[in-house]
Structure 1
Amino acid sequence: MMAAVFVSLIESTGAYKAASRLASATPPPAHVLSRGIGWQGIGILLDGLFGTLTGSTVSVTRVGSRRVIQIAAGFMIFFSILGKFGALFASIPFPIFGAVYCVLFGLVASVGLSFLQFTNMNSMRNLFITGVAFFLGLSVPEYFREYTAKAYHGPAHTRAGWFNDFLNTIFFSAPTVALIIAVFLDNTLDYKDSARDRGMPWWVKFRTFKGRQQE
């Protein structure tokens, strides 16, 4: 459970920043991220109580108004009571869902890449970190999936079951693996102008919200 929460925390934080970017808003401060992740946790708790097959997640849209999301949630609650509407959505072919996911996740990935424009991408150091993080972020989870499919257990296979579940859950997530590698390399590799190369002058503009300094 701790590993799943850790993975969800990383993916949700990235989704919140991508949503603010799409909505042309400033990056969300720390207290907004904490509040959003907290409400997401409450939603997942309710999902478990009601016995749903999936948990709550973050939706990346260009909508920056709470009222729109609240009205949409009211519609979903109302229509979920009527079985005919549920049957209508269940009848949608899987290729349609696949096409929607291709567009959605492709857009989210491009929004994440757009944050790199604030760093110095002429720096070989930044190019190395970006390339290695992307490559290992894709290849390591794929290795874990293929290994599990063939051996019926993850690469981490010791007598401590909780330890195996912890490592296998973390390394099954591509964003989590990429983040761990990127953070490690960004804090260990030598640099000439750290603040400018890493885009700090741009991020520092959004540390103050309503007169409060963010940590």
Structure 2
Amino acid sequence: MKDKAPIKILLIDNHPLVLDGLKALLECYSHIEVVGTAGLARTGLDLALRTRPDVVLMDINMPQVNGIEAIDLFRAQLPDVRILMLSMHDSREYISTSVLRGARGYILKDVATEEIVQAIETVAAGGTFFSSGVSDALLERRPEDNAVPLTSREQDVLRLLAAGKSNRDIAAALGIAAATAETHRKNLKKKLGIGTTAGLTRYVIDRGLN
């Protein structure tokens, strides 16, 4: 049986020590291939066009073009690449703007290496991933109320969806069947008039939960 191809990842950060450290850590994992590093967003985009990575792990605070602005550049030229933001900031504004621009995940720089690897794996597989501190920031209570009343169970499911959890993860966390978790997901989409899981995440970002 042929081995599965490694996840190709491009690292973009204007701090050489961060780049070198991340590259060294990720190269310890045989299923991850670091195809390049860059200190600027535009340099990273040029490199991405040549190397065609599966995932771009990118910092936000960079000179010339910051990471959030760069999301649009990548999505315009490489629509299939998955963007994972890596930042020291757990600002709700940064997080929500990144997601709305098209980032598939947002993790903080102080998380363990294993969590970075988990984020890369999740995003590469087509999912979304937010580190625990980011999930807390997403779910901070905002003054505006929810236009559509949700049951406590629906709110629990929505919180987990916003954290990038699968039906199986939600089922395990709430002690329900995976099929029940999928039913809740479908009901939430219908109830809120939102057709995608990404849309549900945006709903959480915009309104917050109890």
Greater per-residue strand proportion: 2
Q: TM-score, normalised by structure 1?
A: 0.25
Structure with greater Cα Rg? 1
After TM superposition, the score normalised by the length of structure 2 is: 0.26
More helix by percentage: 1
Question: Relative contact order, CA 8 A, sep 6+: which one is greater?
Answer: 1
